[in-house]
Amino acid sequence: MEVKVYTLNAFTQDINWWNPAWVVLNADNLSDNQMQEIAKKINFSETAFVSKTNFADYKVRFFTPTSEVDLCGHATIATFFLMSKINLIKKWNYKQETKAWILDIEVKNDNLVYMAQNIPIYSDILQKEEIADSLNITSDIFISDLPIQIVSTWLRDIFVSIKTLEDLNNIEPNFEKISQISKKYNVIGYHLFTLGTLFSSTAHCRNFAPLYDINEEAATWTSSWALSCYLNKYKKINWNDLIFEQWYKMNRPSKILASIKSKDNKILWVKVWWYWANIQEKKIILD
Protein backbone atom coordinates (compact mmCIF):
# COMPACT_ATOMS: atom_id res chain seq x y z
CA MET A 1 0.00 0.00 0.00
CA GLU A 2 1.36 3.40 -1.04
CA VAL A 3 0.53 6.55 0.96
CA LYS A 4 1.24 10.13 -0.14
CA VAL A 5 2.90 12.26 2.55
CA TYR A 6 3.54 16.00 2.31
CA THR A 7 6.55 17.57 3.91
CA LEU A 8 6.66 21.31 4.61
CA ASN A 9 9.75 23.26 5.53
CA ALA A 10 9.19 26.14 7.89
CA PHE A 11 11.29 29.27 8.27
CA THR A 12 10.99 32.87 9.29
CA GLN A 13 12.88 35.73 7.63
CA ASP A 14 15.80 33.50 6.62
CA ILE A 15 15.20 30.47 4.40
CA ASN A 16 18.05 28.70 6.17
CA TRP A 17 15.99 28.70 9.38
CA TRP A 18 13.76 25.75 8.77
CA ASN A 19 12.08 22.79 10.37
CA PRO A 20 10.05 20.07 8.61
CA ALA A 21 6.51 18.94 9.36
CA TRP A 22 4.72 15.96 7.82
CA VAL A 23 1.06 15.72 6.81
CA VAL A 24 -1.05 12.88 5.43
CA LEU A 25 -4.32 13.97 3.81
CA ASN A 26 -7.27 11.62 3.22
CA ALA A 27 -6.36 9.35 6.13
CA ASP A 28 -9.92 7.98 6.59
CA ASN A 29 -8.99 4.46 5.51
CA LEU A 30 -5.80 4.19 7.55
CA SER A 31 -5.88 2.13 10.74
CA ASP A 32 -4.21 3.21 13.96
CA ASN A 33 -1.42 0.70 13.33
CA GLN A 34 -0.86 2.03 9.81
CA MET A 35 -0.68 5.63 11.04
CA GLN A 36 1.86 4.56 13.64
CA GLU A 37 3.86 2.67 11.00
CA ILE A 38 3.97 5.73 8.74
CA ALA A 39 5.10 7.98 11.61
CA LYS A 40 7.79 5.46 12.52
CA LYS A 41 9.05 5.28 8.92
CA ILE A 42 9.15 9.09 8.69
CA ASN A 43 10.89 9.19 12.09
CA PHE A 44 10.29 12.87 12.82
CA SER A 45 8.74 14.44 15.89
CA GLU A 46 5.08 14.47 14.77
CA THR A 47 3.08 13.47 11.69
CA ALA A 48 -0.49 14.77 11.18
CA PHE A 49 -3.26 12.62 9.70
CA VAL A 50 -6.38 14.35 8.32
CA SER A 51 -9.77 12.67 7.99
CA LYS A 52 -13.50 13.46 7.86
CA THR A 53 -15.64 13.97 10.94
CA ASN A 54 -19.23 14.77 11.86
CA PHE A 55 -18.17 17.03 14.73
CA ALA A 56 -15.97 19.62 13.00
CA ASP A 57 -14.64 20.57 9.58
CA TYR A 58 -11.71 18.16 9.88
CA LYS A 59 -10.33 15.58 12.27
CA VAL A 60 -6.56 15.58 12.75
CA ARG A 61 -4.56 13.00 14.68
CA PHE A 62 -0.90 13.27 15.61
CA PHE A 63 1.67 10.48 15.90
CA THR A 64 5.27 10.54 17.08
CA PRO A 65 7.53 7.66 15.95
CA THR A 66 6.39 5.66 19.00
CA SER A 67 2.90 6.79 20.04
CA GLU A 68 -0.11 9.02 19.42
CA VAL A 69 -0.33 12.41 21.16
CA ASP A 70 -3.47 14.43 21.76
CA LEU A 71 -2.33 17.61 20.03
CA CYS A 72 0.57 19.17 18.15
CA GLY A 73 0.43 22.88 17.35
CA HIS A 74 3.36 22.67 14.92
CA ALA A 75 1.68 19.99 12.79
CA THR A 76 -1.75 21.68 13.04
CA ILE A 77 -0.43 24.88 11.51
CA ALA A 78 1.34 22.87 8.80
CA THR A 79 -1.86 20.96 7.98
CA PHE A 80 -4.03 24.02 7.43
CA PHE A 81 -1.30 25.91 5.60
CA LEU A 82 -0.92 22.94 3.24
CA MET A 83 -4.67 22.63 2.59
CA SER A 84 -4.85 26.35 1.87
CA LYS A 85 -1.87 26.33 -0.51
CA ILE A 86 -3.23 23.41 -2.57
CA ASN A 87 -6.71 24.99 -2.60
CA LEU A 88 -8.53 22.42 -0.50
CA ILE A 89 -9.76 25.19 1.79
CA LYS A 90 -10.30 28.94 1.59
CA LYS A 91 -9.15 31.74 3.85
CA TRP A 92 -11.71 31.36 6.63
CA ASN A 93 -12.42 30.09 10.15
CA TYR A 94 -12.47 26.33 10.73
CA LYS A 95 -13.10 23.77 13.46
CA GLN A 96 -10.59 20.97 13.97
CA GLU A 97 -11.38 17.85 15.99
CA THR A 98 -8.46 16.42 17.97
CA LYS A 99 -8.12 13.92 20.80
CA ALA A 100 -7.81 16.92 23.12
CA TRP A 101 -10.99 18.73 21.97
CA ILE A 102 -12.31 20.82 19.08
CA LEU A 103 -10.05 23.75 18.17
CA ASP A 104 -10.73 27.04 16.39
CA ILE A 105 -8.45 27.66 13.41
CA GLU A 106 -8.18 30.85 11.36
CA VAL A 107 -6.59 30.86 7.90
CA LYS A 108 -5.66 34.41 6.84
CA ASN A 109 -4.93 36.01 3.49
CA ASP A 110 -1.23 36.41 4.25
CA ASN A 111 -0.82 32.61 4.55
CA LEU A 112 -0.62 32.75 8.32
CA VAL A 113 -2.60 30.18 10.29
CA TYR A 114 -3.70 31.00 13.85
CA MET A 115 -4.80 28.39 16.34
CA ALA A 116 -6.81 29.21 19.44
CA GLN A 117 -5.50 28.17 22.84
CA ASN A 118 -6.84 27.66 26.33
CA ILE A 119 -6.48 30.05 29.23
CA PRO A 120 -3.28 28.92 31.00
CA ILE A 121 -3.34 26.51 33.91
CA TYR A 122 -0.48 26.95 36.39
CA SER A 123 0.06 23.69 38.24
CA ASP A 124 2.69 22.18 40.54
CA ILE A 125 5.89 23.99 41.46
CA LEU A 126 8.63 21.35 41.54
CA GLN A 127 11.77 20.94 43.58
CA LYS A 128 14.81 22.38 41.82
CA GLU A 129 17.10 19.56 42.96
CA GLU A 130 14.98 16.89 41.26
CA ILE A 131 15.01 18.72 37.92
CA ALA A 132 18.69 19.68 38.19
CA ASP A 133 19.67 16.04 38.72
CA SER A 134 17.87 14.97 35.54
CA LEU A 135 19.65 17.72 33.58
CA ASN A 136 23.10 16.87 34.99
CA ILE A 137 23.49 20.37 36.37
CA THR A 138 23.49 22.15 39.72
CA SER A 139 20.50 24.22 40.77
CA ASP A 140 22.53 27.45 41.00
CA ILE A 141 22.14 28.00 37.23
CA PHE A 142 18.35 28.36 37.54
CA ILE A 143 16.95 31.91 37.62
CA SER A 144 16.24 32.37 41.33
CA ASP A 145 12.95 34.30 41.11
CA LEU A 146 11.32 32.00 38.55
CA PRO A 147 9.85 28.72 39.83
CA ILE A 148 10.15 25.40 38.05
CA GLN A 149 6.49 24.93 37.28
CA ILE A 150 4.08 22.84 35.26
CA VAL A 151 2.08 25.09 32.92
CA SER A 152 -0.44 24.20 30.24
CA THR A 153 -2.46 25.96 27.59
CA TRP A 154 -3.09 22.69 25.72
CA LEU A 155 -0.41 20.24 26.85
CA ARG A 156 1.42 20.08 30.18
CA ASP A 157 5.15 20.94 30.26
CA ILE A 158 7.66 21.62 33.01
CA PHE A 159 9.11 25.12 32.54
CA VAL A 160 12.71 25.55 33.61
CA SER A 161 14.53 28.90 33.58
CA ILE A 162 18.30 29.03 33.03
CA LYS A 163 20.46 32.06 33.85
CA THR A 164 22.59 32.31 30.72
CA LEU A 165 22.59 31.19 27.11
CA GLU A 166 25.95 29.50 27.63
CA ASP A 167 24.55 27.48 30.54
CA LEU A 168 21.52 26.47 28.48
CA ASN A 169 23.59 25.32 25.51
CA ASN A 170 25.97 23.35 27.73
CA ILE A 171 23.24 21.19 29.24
CA GLU A 172 23.58 17.49 28.39
CA PRO A 173 20.47 15.95 29.96
CA ASN A 174 19.80 12.46 31.24
CA PHE A 175 16.90 11.52 28.97
CA GLU A 176 16.00 8.42 30.95
CA LYS A 177 15.53 10.49 34.11
CA ILE A 178 13.55 13.12 32.20
CA SER A 179 11.25 10.36 30.91
CA GLN A 180 10.72 9.07 34.45
CA ILE A 181 9.93 12.55 35.81
CA SER A 182 7.67 13.33 32.84
CA LYS A 183 5.70 10.15 33.54
CA LYS A 184 5.59 10.91 37.28
CA TYR A 185 4.04 14.36 36.74
CA ASN A 186 2.00 13.47 33.63
CA VAL A 187 3.71 16.01 31.39
CA ILE A 188 4.97 15.94 27.81
CA GLY A 189 8.47 17.02 28.82
CA TYR A 190 10.71 19.94 29.82
CA HIS A 191 10.77 23.37 28.20
CA LEU A 192 14.02 25.11 29.14
CA PHE A 193 14.58 28.78 28.40
CA THR A 194 16.88 31.69 29.09
CA LEU A 195 16.18 35.41 28.73
CA GLY A 196 19.66 35.89 27.26
CA THR A 197 19.30 35.45 23.49
CA LEU A 198 21.24 35.61 20.24
CA PHE A 199 19.06 38.07 18.34
CA SER A 200 17.33 40.26 20.94
CA SER A 201 14.43 37.81 21.16
CA THR A 202 12.16 37.24 24.15
CA ALA A 203 13.74 33.93 25.13
CA HIS A 204 16.03 31.23 23.82
CA CYS A 205 14.57 27.73 24.30
CA ARG A 206 15.28 24.02 24.30
CA ASN A 207 12.61 21.33 24.60
CA PHE A 208 13.07 17.72 25.78
CA ALA A 209 10.31 15.10 25.40
CA PRO A 210 12.05 11.70 25.54
CA LEU A 211 8.95 10.03 27.01
CA TYR A 212 7.47 10.43 23.51
CA ASP A 213 10.72 9.50 21.74
CA ILE A 214 11.60 13.15 21.03
CA ASN A 215 14.86 13.75 22.84
CA GLU A 216 15.02 17.34 21.61
CA GLU A 217 12.29 19.14 19.70
CA ALA A 218 13.10 21.59 16.93
CA ALA A 219 10.33 24.09 17.54
CA THR A 220 7.54 23.69 20.08
CA TRP A 221 4.31 25.60 19.46
CA THR A 222 2.28 24.56 22.46
CA SER A 223 5.20 25.23 24.80
CA SER A 224 5.68 28.68 23.27
CA TRP A 225 2.07 29.55 24.11
CA ALA A 226 2.48 28.40 27.68
CA LEU A 227 5.85 30.14 28.03
CA SER A 228 4.27 33.41 26.88
CA CYS A 229 1.72 33.10 29.68
CA TYR A 230 4.33 32.04 32.24
CA LEU A 231 6.55 35.04 31.48
CA ASN A 232 3.54 37.33 31.65
CA LYS A 233 2.49 35.88 35.03
CA TYR A 234 5.94 36.45 36.54
CA LYS A 235 6.30 39.90 34.94
CA LYS A 236 9.31 39.04 32.79
CA ILE A 237 7.85 40.67 29.66
CA ASN A 238 6.47 44.14 29.15
CA TRP A 239 5.48 44.00 25.50
CA ASN A 240 2.91 42.11 23.42
CA ASP A 241 4.92 40.80 20.46
CA LEU A 242 7.22 37.94 21.42
CA ILE A 243 9.94 35.99 19.62
CA PHE A 244 11.26 32.60 20.75
CA GLU A 245 14.51 31.15 19.41
CA GLN A 246 14.87 27.37 19.47
CA TRP A 247 17.12 24.51 18.29
CA TYR A 248 20.24 26.58 17.67
CA LYS A 249 22.10 23.92 19.68
CA MET A 250 21.25 21.45 16.90
CA ASN A 251 22.34 23.80 14.08
CA ARG A 252 18.78 23.89 12.70
CA PRO A 253 17.56 27.19 14.18
CA SER A 254 13.87 28.06 14.42
CA LYS A 255 12.09 31.24 15.35
CA ILE A 256 8.51 31.25 16.66
CA LEU A 257 6.49 34.47 16.73
CA ALA A 258 3.75 35.16 19.28
CA SER A 259 1.39 37.90 20.37
CA ILE A 260 -0.15 38.08 23.82
CA LYS A 261 -3.06 40.14 25.09
CA SER A 262 -3.86 40.50 28.77
CA LYS A 263 -6.03 42.72 30.93
CA ASP A 264 -5.96 43.14 34.72
CA ASN A 265 -3.24 40.48 34.91
CA LYS A 266 -5.45 37.96 33.08
CA ILE A 267 -4.57 36.39 29.73
CA LEU A 268 -7.23 37.09 27.10
CA TRP A 269 -5.50 35.32 24.23
CA VAL A 270 -2.15 34.24 22.85
CA LYS A 271 -1.58 33.77 19.12
CA VAL A 272 1.40 31.88 17.75
CA TRP A 273 2.36 31.53 14.11
CA TRP A 274 5.10 30.61 11.65
CA TYR A 275 5.83 30.94 7.96
CA TRP A 276 5.93 27.88 5.67
CA ALA A 277 7.39 27.04 2.30
CA ASN A 278 8.86 24.28 0.12
CA ILE A 279 5.95 21.84 0.05
CA GLN A 280 7.12 18.47 -1.25
CA GLU A 281 5.49 15.08 -1.76
CA LYS A 282 6.84 11.71 -0.69
CA LYS A 283 5.54 8.16 -1.00
CA ILE A 284 5.51 5.82 1.99
CA ILE A 285 5.14 2.09 1.32
CA LEU A 286 3.30 0.22 4.07
CA ASP A 287 4.08 -3.40 4.77
Q: How far apart are CA 31 and CA 13, in angstroms?
A: 39
* Contact predicate 68/47, CB 8 Å: no
How many CB atoms lie under 10 A from the CB of residue 239? Answer: 8
Q: How far apart are CA 267 and CA 260, in angstroms?
A: 8
* Contact predicate 178/215, CB 8 Å: no
**Chain CA centroid to CA 227, Å:** 11
Neighbour-count burial of 184, counting CB atoms closer than 10 A to its CB (0-12 exposed, 13-18 middle, 19+ buried): exposed
Q: Which of 2, 37, 46, 217 is catalytic?
A: 46
* Contact predicate 278/8, CB 8 Å: yes
Reply yes or no on whether 130 is catalytic: no
* Contact predicate 274/25, CB 8 Å: no
Cβ neighbours of residue 110 closer than 8 Å, sequence gap 6 or more: none
Residue of 95, 161, 94 lying closest to 131 (CA atoms): 161
Please name the helix (run of DSSP H) or strand (run of DSSP E) that holds residue 42, with its range, or none: helix 32-42
Please name the helix (run of DSSP H) or strand (run of DSSP E) that holds residue 126, with its range, or none: none
In sequence order, the β-bridge partners of residue 95 are 104
Q: Which residues are catalytic?
A: 46
